[in-house]
Structure 1
Amino acid sequence: MNRTKTVLAAVLVLVGASGFPPATAGQAAPACAGLDQLRIPASVMSLPTTGGRVTATSVVTGPVGGRTITYCQADADIFPVDPAAPAIKMRVDLPAGWNRKALMFGGGGYDGTIPDLTANVPFGPADQPVPLARGYATFASDSGHQQNPASPPSLDGSFGMNDEALLNFAAGDALKKTRDASLFLIRHAYGTNPAETYFAGGSTGGREALTVAQRWPTAFDGVISAYPAWNNLAEVLDLGYLAQVLSRPGAFPGPEKQTLLYDSVIQACDGLDGVRDHVVSNPAGCHFDPRTLRCPDGADTGAICLSDAQIAAVLALSSPFRWPYRVASGETGYPGFPFLSGADMRTPFLGFGTTAPADPMPVTSGYGMQYWDQWVKYFLTRDPDHDSLAVDPRDPGKWLGRISYLSTIEDRNNADLRPFAAAGGKLILLHGAADELVSPRSTSDYYQRVRDVAGPRGTDAFLRYYLVPGANHANFGTPAFAAGWDSLSALDHWVEKGQSPVDPVVTDVNDDRTRPLCAYPEWPRYRAGDPDSASSFVCTR
């Protein structure tokens, strides 16, 4: 991989007052016509394919992230080895005024569509240009399968019936194939490799970010991993257990009761950080007991209380889940979700959903329940008619062998990132403390595993982990704190200049409040002054 730090004089000339090289409108797009129908040799990809081909190109001039820019968009297919497997569909956006850097985006859920290459990185800033508008060449793929348009977005697991498609997605094979093919096209368009190549993704994309650092430590110079579903098999088993719990008669708390729970948690824990701002800054210090909301005699008597069955369901959601058998990945459980730590119950679709799980699985059930349903049908049993609620994650019976195998490709749990660090790689890890879909406790667990392997000093040399109070999954809906931070510039400075992030500040992009972005395990405690200003807080343990 080309890790040269030479800065081209032409790029220096192009740097504007904002510090970002503009991809200027009116400049000629780089060699776009020469890419059309270009063959991508199998030899440029380190994993098996039968090559690829550019299927379409176009020169685009228009608004991107607040700027009007010109870029070449090239779509391509990477052909499978198995004729029955779908192609990997990928896209590369090549800006005029290229800053000689490249950024790959990760996907979400079950993938199946090409991410928006004109978008921002996860938890990105609202007041800065997006990567393409800064001059980054951006690229991504659908991870090797195409979603059924009739399915809810990112919730089509039917590709799991094919082994090659499964490995492309779950093991991350499509990531390296897409990276190699994209760099081939970038070299063809600009006549040189990128000086730096980065990866940014959240949720499934966050797992993909950790996958590239684990499996191909020299492939990317820097990685942004946000709310990563790194232990995908482990989480799926917990989701399956929770689907069964929530499907029990009377156990599902409807939207009104979810709001009651959320408001009660905020009332109990909001002020523990020194200020009441609807943000629980120290989730570990919040010890709300849902039994304080118990209905008289434990029966369901309305929206102002929780029945015994609903309390049991809430406790199951927020408690660690362990299984009494071994799987090949070595994982033994999942730490549960922070529904009692300030999670945003105002966005129930991601967490509980608005209706109880059932067979067939309603599209109004929680996202995680639908994810489990697809996993059982297409990954585990490979029977589209199988009742997912009939599979017990605590006692899977005949499915144990298949579960164990799937753990080897879905749990991307290698904590030895020393090869990535030795190659000069830098990793920024982000998670919202109120995430209702991927547990922040799980990311904290992975971070601690990395520290156990690399040691505190070794870890600090290449990794920063930030837990953002009040932020939920991908700023979905109306979170208590919609996180925005220029992690890409921070990563770029770290990679290029060796300057690690110092006293970063995160902004609530919905109302411009700011907070110090505290390196885990620290959290922001209010001191004095304007409660909407980061300067009024101090990072503490």
Structure 2
Amino acid sequence: MPHARLVRRLLTAGSSLALTAAALVVGQPPATAVPSTAALSAGSADCSSLVGMKVPARRIGLPTTGAEITATASVPASGTGPTALPAYCRADIAIHPVDPSAPDIRMGLALPEGWNGKTMMFGGGGYNGTVPSLAQNVPFGPVDQRTPLGRGYATYASDSGHQADPANHPIPSLDGSFGRSDEALRNFSGDALKKVHDTATYVIRKAFGRAPDTTYFAGGSTGGREALAVAQRWPRDFDGVISAYPAWNAATLDLFFGRITHEFAKPGAFPTPAQQGLVAQRVLAACDGGDGLEDGVISDEAGCDFDPATLLCDDAETPGATCLSREQVDAVVAADSSWRLPYRVASGERGYPGFPLLSGARMSTPVLGFGTTAPADPMPVTAGYGMQFWNQWVKHFVARDRQISPFAIDPADPGEWQRRISELTALQDVNDADLRPFARSGGRLILVHGAADELVSHRSTIDYYQRVERVMGKRATEAFSRFYLVPGANHANFAPVAYSASYDSLTVLEKWAEDGVAPDANQVVADGNAGAGRSRPLCEWPAWPAYVGGPVSEANSFRCEM
């Protein structure tokens, strides 16, 4: 074990003794006796004996009233090749709140036979509200390699402290109704991460008779924000973190969602799905060959110089499948452009850089795109994901009034709501760029984003990474982190996608965190689209892959250029 990680382990052991005042006053019954064998069997006898186990509040680093295992299930081995999973014991756990009116945090924990001594915590997505799959891959993970559970990891994840209410929204990740509870809101904003980590660590120690050797976190979107949150707030808890397409400045992004909601609701401003597709086609035609190859992927996104005026109808045309009206073009440009907040907020954020709609991202991606219906009040479920996100944020986070219209608050001039919005930015914007404590503890960070993301802008991730470099210096930043952009990849590889990123970041992170072997400059990201059969160099930002000759499906036919 490298010296830095040994020191981190000793510090972590000591920090588990630190108690908050709120936790001290909550009495807990003794923990139920559980097996303490070095390798817990996934058989029904051992697995079922975990039911009812208590986790004392004093063993959880933020205030709770303790936790307990509410159910278990013995899951047999399954699958072959990349889909193979070992037999494992699944434990369902409830972490109880301090406020009796707040919901539990519900989490799942997979304890595999042949445990490799490592753990993986998965982040969530959207407004969370459901427990993610414990057998999933890391975001942008390799389609031809086993998932963490398949590799023998103990894996765990949570709903972040609330349960999605289908009566409020049919899409679970778009239910923001929990925001009316202060404790649930704090849990979603980050507190649940510490509570879940500490609970899982306690149960793993009891089940396997020893602490994990190595701990990892992986998440995308909201989960990407959560990945950066654990590195910022609890720098000794994880050895390695994978943060993909992170919505790190969540409240500021919500305000930008509000901006585009207002813009696309203007009379005549919403482009039809066909017109959304037209924008993507025109941009691709203008910029696809900029990397030396016309292959449906814009590699040099920053170098794409597309004139939106070419989308306008001339005097003889009617807006439709071949052109857009002035109002429609203005709305698209507003969504693509950087926006500066005209007032100060507590998090210190100044604005949002816009989505790359005029340089590679598609507006018409199902569910996560701009929708098939203009935003309205009440908000249709066929409106864009971000517009529905704003609607929920206004009703349940800001005003805490189900009846308020999403158009009642102007993100540029919120009036009486400005103070509340500012408070929410302090809670939700995970923007501390000083990652020196994480780096000093031996932590390693892989940051990855698709350059065609239509929901969380990669430009925002560039902004955060540049801040880290300014605080720590480029050399110190590179000593513990890497940041990669994947041309053509969109949000979460949501189909249809020009380039479905398939990258074995976990193996790279393992070698770095456990063996001290930093990622090399010859990494490859494959296209996971069925039948694609192509790969490209994984270029460290700000470089991008340029075609230099040879078979167009092979990564060595490209080189990273700036």
Structure 1 counterpart of 2:51, from 11, 19, 36: 36
> 1:102 — aligned with what?
119
Query: Hey, what does 2:536 align to over in structure 1?
Result: 515
* Residue 489 (structure 1) aligns with: 507
Percent of residue pairs bearing the same amino acid type: 59
1:444 equivalent to 2:444? Answer no
Q: Secondary structure at the match of 1:181?
A: helix
Residue in structure 1 matching 2:144, options 122, 127, 146: 127
User: Would the aligned equivalents of 1:25 and 1:68 in 2 still touch at CA under 8 Å?
Assistant: no
Query: What SS does the aligned partner of 1:427 have?
Result: strand
Give yes or no for contact 1:426–1:495 (8 Å, CA) kept in 2.
yes
Which residue of the partner structure matches residue 458 of structure 1? 476
**1:322, distance to aligned residue in structure 2 (A):** 1.1
SS of the counterpart of 1:69? coil
TM-superposition CA deviations, 1:415-453 (whole Å, max 9, x none): 000000000000000100000000000000000000001
Taking the aligned partners of 1:181 and 1:349, their CA distance within structure 2 comes to: 34
Cα pair 2:97 2:103 within 8 Å, conserved: yes
The whole-number CA distance in structure 1 between the counterparts of 2:41 and 2:50 is 20
Q: 1:158 aligns with which of 163, 177, 183?
A: 177
Superposition pairs of residues 332-481 of structure 1, within 5 angstroms: 332-481=350-499
CA distance in 1: counterparts of 2:364 and 2:131, whole angstroms: 29
Q: Given the alignment of the two structures, is residue 267 of structure 1 paired with residue 285 of structure 2, yes or no?
A: yes
What is the identity, as a one-letter code, of the residue corresponding to 1:74?
A
Aligned residue in 1 for 2:547: 526
Deviations 1:502-522 (A, max 9, x none): 111001001121000000001
Q: 2:264 aligns with which of 246, 255, 279?
A: 246
> What TM-score does the superposition give when structure 2 sets the normalisation length?
0.91
Aligned pairs (5 A) from 1:200-349: 200-297=218-315, 300-349=318-367
How far 1:299 moved relative to its partner? 7.2
The one-letter code matched in structure 2 to 1:107 is G
Instruction: Say if 1:313 and 1:469 are closer, same or farther in 2 by CA, change over 3 A.
Output: same
Any conservation in 1 of the 2:42–2:74 contact (CA below 8 Å)? no
Inter-CA distance 27–36: structure 2 relative to 1 (3 Å threshold): closer
Aligned mates of 2:280, 2:138 — CA distance in 1:
29
For 1:269 and 1:30, how far apart are their aligned partners in 2? 61
Secondary structure of the residue that 1:63 maps to in structure 2?
coil
Please say if 1:191 is aligned against 2:209.
yes
Which of 101, 110, 113 aligns to 1:93? It is 110
Contact 1:218 1:420 in 2 (8 A): yes
Indicate how the Cα distance of structure 1 residues 158 and 465 shifts in structure 2: closer, same or farther if over 3 A, else same.
same
Per-residue Cα deviation, 1:469-500 (whole angstroms, up to 9, x for no partner): 00000000111000011111110100011111
**Pair 1:400–1:25, CA change in 2 (3 A):** closer
Contiguous gaps of at least 5 residues in structure 1: 6-23
Matches within 5 A, 1:7-26: none
In structure 2, the CA distance between the partners of 1:282 and 1:298, relative to structure 1 (3 Å rule), is farther
The alignment covers a number of residue pairs equal to 522
Runs of 4+ deviating beyond 6 Å: 24-27
Unaligned ranges ≥5, structure 2: 8-38
Which amino acid in the other structure matches residue 432 of structure 1? G
1:141 is matched with 158
User: When the two structures are superposed, what TM-score results if normalisation uses the length of structure 1?
Assistant: 0.94
Q: Counterpart in 2 of 1:58?
A: 73
In the TM superposition, what is the alpha-carbon distance from 1:28 to its structure 2 partner?
4.9
Give a deviation string over 1:119-149, Cα, whole Å, max 9, x none.
1000000000111010000001100000013
For the residues of structure 1 that align with 2:320 and 2:217, how far apart are their CA atoms? 48
Maintained 8 Å contact 2:364/2:371: no
Determine if contact 2:40/2:46 at 8 Å carries over to the other structure.
no
1:345 positional shift: 4.0
Map of 1:17 onto structure 2: none
Partners of 1:191 and 1:202 in 2: how far apart? 32
Kept in 2, the 8 Å contact 1:31–1:189? The answer is: no
Q: Secondary structure of 1:145's partner?
A: coil
Confirm whether residue 506 of structure 1 aligns to residue 521 of structure 2: no
Q: Distance in 2 between matches of 1:26 and 1:45?
A: 26
Offset of residue 153 of structure 1 = 2.7
Partners in 2 of 1:344 and 1:246 — Cα distance?
A: 16
Q: Which amino acid in the other structure matches residue 139 of structure 2? A: P
Encode CA deviations 1:328-366: one digit per residue, 9 max, x unaligned.
Answer: 111010000000111134515322111100000010111
- 8 Å contact 1:299–1:307 — kept in the other structure? no
Give the Cα–Cα distance (whole angstroms) in 1 for the partners of residues 314 and 247 of structure 2.
39
Per-residue CA distance 1:252-288 (angstroms, 9 max, x = gap): 0111001111010000000000000000001110011
148-157 or 304-313, larger mean C-alpha shift: 148-157
2-structure distance, mates of 1:223, 1:68: 23
Paired residue secondary structure (2:78) = strand
Q: Partners of 1:422 and 1:297 in 2: how far apart?
A: 63
CA RMSD of aligned residues (A): 1.8
| 1:270 partner letter | D
Tell me the distance in 2 between the aligned counterparts of 1:435 and 1:139: 27
Please name the residue that 2:36 is paired with: none
In the alignment, the residues of structure 2 paired with residue 165 and residue 30 of structure 1 have an alpha-carbon distance, to the nearest angstrom, of 35
Please give the alpha-carbon distance, in whole angstroms, between the structure 2 residues aligned to 1:453 and 1:68: 42
- The CA distance in 1 between the partners of 2:548 and 2:125, in whole Å, is 38
What is the CA-CA distance between 1:58 and the residue it aligns to? 1.3
Mapped to 1, the partners of 2:318 and 2:418 lie a distance apart of: 37
Aligned AA for 2:334? A
Letter in 2 for 1:416: D
Q: CA deviation at 1:67?
A: 1.3
Provide the C-alpha distance between the structure 1 equivalents of 2:67 and 2:274, rounded to a whole number of angstroms.
Answer: 52
What secondary structure does 2:327 align onto?
helix
Question: In 1, Cα distance between the equivalents of 2:442 and 2:141?
Answer: 23
